[in-house]
Amino acid sequence: MPININDRLTRLNNRRKGMDRLGRLTEAAQLDVVRKSVHSEAWQRRASTGQPNTRYALGAMQEVDPDYTRISKETAERVAGQLKSGLTARGFTVDWRLQGSVPLNVHIRGVSDVDLLKLDTNFKTYTSWGAMSQAGRYTGTATAATSVGSLLNLRRESETILKAKYPAATVDCSGNKAIKIFGGSLARPVDVVPSHWFDNYDYQTSGQEHDRSVTILDKSVPTTIDNLPFLHIKKISDRCDHALGGVRKAIRLCKNVKNDAEEERGVKIALSSFDIGATIFHADLAALRVGASYELAILAEVQRHLDHLTMNESHAKTLRVPDGSRAIFDTPEKLSALRTLSVEMDELAKAVATEQGKVVMKSLGVSTYDARRILNEAYIPYL
């Protein structure tokens, strides 16, 4: 099915400017978003009206307006402060961190949910054979409390405090891992994730917070899950620096294409933002680096990379997420999603290449090989 590019451009613009999520905002925040939405962005002026696919590809790579991101972070900080005061009054000692797409700067929405880790620093687990443990650094009073029990208590108290502090907001407590809060006086939605530190072996060796694990609660069982959110952020950030910004652009491109394909075609592409970031982590850095000058080369490399993984599923199954904790494509559903996303990227690459290249017989269509060649040679000036 051909891409409905005009609809995609509309959705992309609405997504980037927050117009798709006005219902989650306060009246003041809605007015601010609507006011800003009338202004065009640089990517919308970088390709001619006869090149809508090119304009979409360029726009899908760009970071969200930093002002939108600032508001998201400030809203999360505000919620963190209110929770800290409420929890401190109840005898907790807490800290907070941001995780996910917003701090990594690969979010694609102007109104993006922010993941706020609320850490109970009174409770901590650690690897007993780690360097700090062996050196006697963990000498606190032993407790009979469990990780599940501690986090269930933190969650219950957090839910009570959020409802009291934000009576006009919607506090959705149905999620297994996060408490969702939006509306009322909040300029952006926030997902509050009760958690505590887990000082694993690598953290005890390096002392670097990016190596430190976080334990979160899945209340449906209940059980706990150990994550390495800051190592994921650092690994992708470092790789993006080596690619001169190409990794983040490639991740945003995939996320936007996934979102539009799902809305336009009614398909489900079962790859999370985390999975997409992990997939692009293994793309060719040299090819992505070309995108610093020839930006459409990023589309060419994403198309090539996804196509290669689709054609070589045995190799795809060996790829692991950046923190090394699991395989990326660890279910048949994810491999199927990879194939779907690859086909979507094939279509986009060919459509953009047709706009950029001198294709003699357009009726026959451009091959993926020629599409990559054209995209790698196409220069679109920055404004």
Q: What is the pLDDT of residues 323-353, one digit of tens each?
A: 999 999 999 999 999 999 999 999 999 999 9
Cis-peptide, bond into residue 222, ω within 30° of zero: yes
**251 and 305 share a domain?**
yes
Residue 117 pLDDT > 90: yes
| The domain boundary residue, chosen from 202, 227, 252 | 227
Q: Residue 364: its pLDDT value, please?
A: 60
Residue 367: CA count within 13 A, CB half-sphere: 3
Q: Residue 23: its pLDDT value, please?
A: 84
Q: Residue 141: its pLDDT value, please?
A: 60
**221 and 238 share a domain?**
no
Residue 103 pLDDT > 80: yes
Residue 363 pLDDT > 70: no
Residue 223 lies in a domain: yes
Residue 206 lies in a domain: yes
Q: What is the pLDDT of residues 199-222, one digit of tens each?
A: 999 999 999 999 999 999 999 999
**183 and 138 share a domain?**
yes
Q: Residue 24: its pLDDT value, please?
A: 83
| The domain boundary residue, chosen from 227, 246, 263 | 227
Which structural domain, as residue segments, surrounds residue 98?
67-227
Q: Residue 30: its pLDDT value, please?
A: 86
Q: Residue 362: its pLDDT value, please?
A: 56
Domain count, the chain: 2
Q: What is the pLDDT of residues 269-294, one digit of tens each?
A: 999 999 999 999 999 999 999 999 99
**372 and 254 share a domain?**
yes
**113 and 20 share a domain?**
no
**37 and 94 share a domain?**
no
Residue 382 lies in a domain: no
- Return the bridge partners of 195, or none: 119, 216
**218 and 248 share a domain?**
no
Checking DSSP bridges between strand 190-199 and strand 114-126, what pairing results, if any?
A: parallel
Q: Are 215 and 198 in contact (CB under 8 A)?
A: yes
Measured distance CA(226)–CA(5) in Å, rounded: 41
Q: Residue 158: its pLDDT value, please?
A: 98
**28 and 89 share a domain?**
no
> What is the rounded average pLDDT of the residues 225-247?
98
**86 and 167 share a domain?**
yes
Residue 29 pLDDT > 90: no
Measured distance CA(171)–CA(45) in Å, rounded: 40
**Least reliable range by pLDDT among 19-23, 63-67, 180-184, 233-237:** 19-23
Residue with more model confidence, 361 or 36: 36
Q: Residue 25: its pLDDT value, please?
A: 84
